[in-house]
Amino acid sequence: DAKTTQPNSMESNEEEPVHLPCNHSTISGTDYIHWYRQLPSQGPEYVIHGLTSNVNNRMASLAIAEDRKSSTLILHRATLRDAAVYYCILTGTASKLTFGTGTRLQVTL
């Protein structure tokens, strides 16, 4: 499975936008980019996914670079409930969804 690289941690103030980067330079043409987040003592929660075009949903936006070697998860207005570990993962039809260390997002008042 292609690997992803994320910063270990990021901080944000509440109600400000947050941009969480992810590098995936070895992505293949059929890999989707998935983002999950995990709160303490809970299973990962699906956030968003995309292939080539930018995507929006009620939780976040996903901006995908034109060469697909990087992507950015955008939380438009961070709240305290958004504090979690965010994982960027590449998935193909047969991929196993291997987790890296993710980015721990801290949100402060």
Partner 1 sequence: GAVVSQHPSRVICKSGTSVKIECRSLDFQATTMFWYRQFPKQSLMLMATSNEGSKATYEQGVEKDKFLINHASLTLSTLTVTSAHPEDSSFYICSARDLATSGNTIYFGEGSWLTVV
Name the residues that contact partner 1, by CB under 8 A: 32, 34, 36, 41-46, 49-51, 87, 91-93, 96-102
Q: Which is nearer to partner 1, 51 or 65 (CB)?
A: 51
Structure letter (DSSP) for residue 31: P
Rounded least distance, CB 27 to partner 1, Å: 13
Q: Which is nearer to partner 1, 32 or 74 (CB)?
A: 32
Rounded least distance, CB 52 to partner 1, Å: 11
Rounded least distance, CB 72 to partner 1, Å: 17
Q: Which is nearer to partner 1, 17 or 100 (CB)?
A: 100
